[in-house]
Structure 1
Amino acid sequence: MDGTHLFELVIAMFLAIIALHYLAHRLGLPPSVALLTGGAALAFVPGLPAIEVDPELVLVIFLPPLLFDGAWSIAVDRLKRHMFGIASLAVGAVFFTTVVVAVVTHVLMPSLPWAGCAALGAIVSPPDAVSARAILERVNLPRRLQILLEGESLLNDASGLVLFRFAVAAATTGAFSATNAAGTFILLAAGGAIVGCVVGYAWVKLVRKLHDDYLMIAATTLMCWIAYLLGEQLHVSGVIATVTAGLIASWYQHTVMSAATRMRGTSFWTVLVFLMEAMVFILIGLSLRDIVERGGGFGALLETMALPALAILVTIVVARFVWIFASDVAIELAHRTGLARSVPMGTGAATVLSWAGVRGVVTLALALSLPDAFPGRDFILVIAFAVIMGTVLLQGTTLGAVISWAGLRGTEAEGAPMTMSQAEAAMAQVQFAKVKSLAFDTDGNLIHPQLLRRYEHRATAIIDYAQRTEDYVPMLHAHFDVVLEAVAVGRTELIRLRRAGQIDDETLRELERDLDLEELSAISAKA
């Protein structure tokens, strides 16, 4: 396929993404399900060239920005507070699932060497960051569950990659040491964290010297790939390096970036991540054609692979349930005996957390990266794809129902001494004090009376609102509904004036930008 046809194919995939997202919205389906099944259907369109996915290239292109975006948006304080639980999922659950899947696979396929069974376990054990993001965007979970899923998706790929590489090496050399594997994992994680710190602080120094919004946004965009590639070049964890760099950038972005830079960067980054996430699911679906052809067709695959695939899919789900419920029981025992302050999640929350283990691009990329001579490669590839399809189609579509069954809903920030309205009141008081100190000249004459009245009224109103939030919510909704109506009328008038030739394009854009900011502010306040 030449460059022109490749570019045409990419544009066609973007158009398919828009159409499939729209279809998912109309049908009430998770977008990941529509994209995955749509990509699988497109793979068999007559005349469409076969898509050969380079696993290393897929990981390098898609994984760093998606990991970086997750680290950028995650709550660092809650990440630290729940690090033990996150590590239990990202490391403990991955190792446990790998072992269980390896044992079940060996029972199903005695001819497959233990190293091949372990490789399959490592491939399918880590839930996917992209799939987790696609799920979390559509559900409203308690903060504890949300941070556990977000943190797990950021770190578990490192565990899966290390286990996978050791399994491949064991199959090649015939030697394996659990002690060496554990030591290597610690070194890779520590090395990745160091690389991430270096890249993150280098970004902080660079952005402080740049005085152009677009240069800052470009530097931030490139940062994720720099951290990942540098980590891989130094033979440490590129995943941990990217996540660490993203956490540092997230912490400092409030002080090194202007408001305009953040708004423009957020808009650019949102579109970029949207396209990348969608492209990942499309590519997974498109890879079905090659898998079916290697397996001898749908009939042969169903006859020979259906039962093993179903057994391993059930094993993955059950293993996650066992690990999470056992961990919750251990937490309850430790809490009762006074050994830990953490409280158990309970049956409902543990069930939702267990059911949220959806697999995706990392699983497929690892399976495709197996050497051609690797024992049981075709079997592993088919099982990996079946696991992705099964978890996305089954768990991705039913997670909302499981959450409803469990009676879970989002809550205020846990452990925070202030609510959002209380924090806003504290901010308004400080602002009023500052305006009051600047409202008078050196002779004591009031020079900014309107500003003083405005900030005094705002501080008083916000404090009153913080004390009587429930009484004010209906009035505030009605207030901002009027604001939004006024913005809409103002925008219509601006367009009329431009169409009539009474104002030029520059005036239209400047005044429309003010209306856009006012509209966004009203929508945010109403929410």
Structure 2
Amino acid sequence: MEPTHLFELVIAMFLAIIALHYAAHRLGLPPSVALLTGGALLAFVPGLPAISVDPELVLVIFLPPLLMDGAWSIAVARLRRHVIGIASLAVGAVLFTCAVVAVVAHLIFPSIPWAACAALGAIVAPPDAVAARAVLQRVRLPRRLQILLEGESLLNDASGLVLFRFAVAAAATGAFSAAEAGGSFLVLALGGAVVGIVVGTAWFKLVRLLGDEYLIIAASVLLGWIAYLAGEQLHVSGVIATVTAGLIMSWHQHTVLSAAMRMRGTSFWTVMIFLMEAAVFILIGLSLRDVVERGGGLTTVIATMGLPMLAILVALVLARFAWVFACDFAVRFCAALGFAQARPLGVGGATVLSWAGVRGVVTLALALSLPEGFPGRDFILVTSFAVILGTVLIQGTTLGRVIAWARLVEPESERARLTMSQAEAAMAQAQVEVVQNLAYDAEGKLIHPQLLERYQRRATSIVDYAEKTEQYMPVLHAHFDVILEAVAIGRRELIRLHRAGEIDDETLLELERDLDLEELSAISAKA
């Protein structure tokens, strides 16, 4: 394919993303479902060239920034609090699911070697960070479940990648050592963490040196790829390196980035991540044609592999249920013994956590990376795609209903000690204290009376609102509705002045920015 045609396909893909997202919004579907099915339908459009996905390139392009985005936005304090539960899912659940899938695959096709069955298990075992984010963005979960799923999706790819590499090596050499695999996993994980710490610390130092906000935003965007590639070059976990660097950035962003950097950087980053997440699902859908052709055509695939694929999918889902409920039972047992920190999820929470294991791009990339001639390659490839399709279309579309059925309640221990209104009141009190100190000159004369009065009045209002939130909520909404209407009228007058030639472009842009900030502030306060 000529480079120009490839570029045209990329532009067409982004146009399809916009159209499919719009269709998903109108139909009330998760965007991931619309993108996946839309890409699958586009794959069979007559005249469209077959899309061949390079698995290594897909992982390098998409995985680091998407992992970085998850690490950047995750709640670090809650991540530390639930590290044991996250490790149980990211390592224990992956190992258990891999073993269950390997056993089921070997029972269905005894001719496929155990190592190849283990490779299939490693491919489909880890839920995907991209798919999980796409699903979780549309639902509301208690903080504990949210952090468990987010933390798992960030770290389980490392477990799956290590298992996959050892299974492929075992299939090639006929030898496997559990002790060697466990030792290698520790080395890869610890080495990746060290690389991530080095890269994250270098970013922290670089931000202080660069000064220019555009350079800092560019350096921050590149950091995920730098951490991932550095980890892979040093033969440690690029996934762990990326996540660690992202957590360091997340922790320090509030102190080293200015308001302008955060606003501009967040705007750019949000659009980039939106396009990359959407492109992942489109590429998965577009790869269906190649997967089906490898399996001998759609009719042949369904006739010969339909029941085995369904059996693998059911085993995969049941394995996660078994692991999650067994761990919750163990936590309940510990709580009965008097361990105060042990708090079970309950049937509803465990069900939601079990049902949220959606697979995606990592599963597809690992399946496509299997070498030619690998035992059972076609079956593994087709089954991997079926698992992605099944988990996204079935679990992704029904997770909201499962959450509604579970009627989950936020435990008191997970709730913040202060509400947002109370935190805002504490912040306003601190601000008024510093204004009181600076409102007087060295001789004790009041030089900023209006500023002091404004901050005192604001602090009093906020404290009063924090105590009577429900009472003041309708009035507050009406207040900010008036502000938004005033901003709209001001913008209309500003544009009229510019169109009439009474102000120049520079004045238009400066005043328009002030109105934008005022509008964003009002929208945020109203929300």
Q: Which amino acid aligns with 1:513?
A: R
2:414 alignment partner, SS class = coil
Pairwise CA distance, 1:241: 0.2
Q: CA deviation at 1:355?
A: 0.6
Note the alpha carbon deviations across 1:474-500, whole angstroms, 9 max, x for none.
Answer: 211111111111111111121222222
Give how far 1:416 is off.
Answer: 3.3
- Looking at structure 1, the residues matched to 363 and 242 of structure 2 have their Cα atoms a distance apart, in angstroms, of 19
Query: Are residue 325 (structure 1) and residue 325 (structure 2) matched?
Result: yes
3-state SS of the aligned residue for 2:102? helix
How far, CA to CA, are the matches of 2:262 and 2:341 in structure 1?
Answer: 38
Q: 1:495 to 1:410 in 2, by over 3 A?
A: farther
Tell me, yes or no, if the aligned pair for 1:143 and 1:413 is still in contact at 8 Å. Answer: no
Match of 1:152 in 2: 152
Q: CA deviation at 1:411?
A: 8.0
Structure 2: runs of 5 or more not aligned: none
Distance 2:324 2:486 in 1: 51
Task: Please give the residue correspondences for 1:154-173 in structure 2 after superposition, counting only pairs within 5 Å.
Answer: 154-173=154-173
| Displacement of 1:271 | 0.5
Provide the rounded CA distance (Å) in 1 between the counterparts of 2:204 and 2:298. Answer: 53
TM-score normalised according to structure 2 size: 0.98
Q: Aligned-pair distance for 1:349?
A: 1.0
Q: Deviations over 1:86-110 (max 9, x none)?
A: 0111111000000000000000111
Opposite residue 444 of structure 2, the aligned amino acid is G
Distance 1:81 1:425 in 2: 27
Deviations 1:245-284 (A, max 9, x none): 0000111111111100010000000000000000000000
Residue 464 of structure 1 aligns with which residue?
464
Distance (Å, rounded) in 1 between the aligned partners of 2:433 and 2:142? 36
Corresponding position of 1:381: 381
- Aligned-pair distance for 1:140? 0.8
What is the CA-CA distance between 1:325 and the residue it aligns to? 0.8
* 1:136 corresponds to 2:140: no
Read off the aligned partner of 2:286 and give its amino acid letter.
Answer: L
Q: Distance in 2 between matches of 1:418 and 1:450?
A: 30
Corresponding residue of 1:353 = 353
Deviations 1:109-141 (A, max 9, x none): 111000000000000000000001101111111
Counterparts of 2:490 and 2:257, CA distance in 1 = 31
Q: Superposition RMSD on alpha carbons, in Å?
A: 1.2
> Which residue of structure 2 lines up, in the alignment, with residue 442 of structure 1?
442
Aligned to 2:397: 397
How far did residue 471 of structure 1 move? 1.5
Equivalent residues in 2 for 1:117-516 (5 A)?
A: 117-408=117-408, 414=414, 416-516=416-516
Q: How does 1:54-69 map to 2 (within 5 A)?
A: 54-69=54-69
The range that moved more, 124-133 or 468-477, is: 468-477
What does the per-residue CA deviation read over 1:447-477, in whole Å, with 9 as the maximum and x for residues that have no partner? 1111101111111111112222221212111
How far 1:178 moved relative to its partner?
0.8
Q: Give the partner amino acid of 2:397.
A: T
Pair 1:526–1:326, CA change in 2 (3 A): same
TM-score (norm 1): 0.98
Q: Partners in 1 of 2:46 and 2:65 — Cα distance?
A: 33
Matches of 1:462 and 1:103, distance apart in 2: 61
- Give me the whole-angstrom Cα distance separating, in 2, the residues matched to 1:489 and 1:304: 66
**In structure 1, how many angstroms separate the alpha carbons of the residues matched to 2:366 and 2:267?**
32
C-alpha distance after superposition, 1:133-190 (max 9, x if no partner): 1011111111111101100000000000000001001001111011111111111100
Q: Secondary structure at the match of 2:345?
A: coil
Q: 1:9 to 1:496 in 2, by over 3 A?
A: same
Instruction: Tell me, in whole angstroms, the C-alpha distance in 1 between the residues paired with 2:415 and 2:183.
Output: 35
CA distance in 1, matches of 2:413, 2:130: 24
Shift of 1:514: 1.0
Contact 1:331/1:340 (CA < 8 Å) preserved in 2? no
CA distance in 2, matches of 1:472, 1:206: 45
Percent identity at matched positions? 76
Aligned equivalents of 2:503, 2:409: Cα separation in 1: 49
Distance 2:176 2:472 in 1: 65
- Range that drifts further, 131-140 or 360-369: 131-140
Say which SS state the counterpart of residue 269 (structure 2) adopts. Answer: helix
Opposite residue 287 of structure 2, the aligned amino acid is S
Question: In structure 1, what is the Cα distance between the partners aligned to 2:204 and 2:176?
Answer: 42
Deviations along 1:492-513, whole A, 9 cap, x unmatched?
Answer: 1212222222222221211111
Cα distance change, pair 515–409 in 1 and its aligned pair in 2 (3 A) = farther
Task: Give the direction of change, closer, same or farther, for the CA distance of 1:134–1:383 in structure 2 (3 Å limit).
Answer: same
* Aligned residue type for 2:271: V
Distance in 2, Cα, partners of 1:53 & 1:273:
20
For residues 411 and 478 of structure 1, do their structure 2 counterparts lie closer, same or farther at Cα, with a shift above 3 Å needed? farther
Alignment of 1:41-56 (within 5 A): 41-56=41-56
Q: Which runs of 5+ in 1 are unaligned?
A: none
SS of the equivalent of 2:127 reads coil
Instruction: Summarize deviations over 1:196-236 as a string: whole Å, max 9, x none.
Output: 00000000000110111110000001110000000001110
Does 2:126 match 1:87?
no
Amino acid corresponding to residue 149 of structure 2 in structure 1: L
SS of aligned partner of 2:359: coil
Which 10-residue stretch deviates more, 497-506 or 346-355? 497-506
Q: Which runs of 4+ in 1 moved over 4 A?
A: 409-413
Q: Is the 8 A contact 1:124 1:384 kept in 2?
A: yes
Cα offset, 1:418, TM superposition: 2.2
The separation in 2 between residues aligned to 1:116 and 1:415, in whole angstroms, is 46
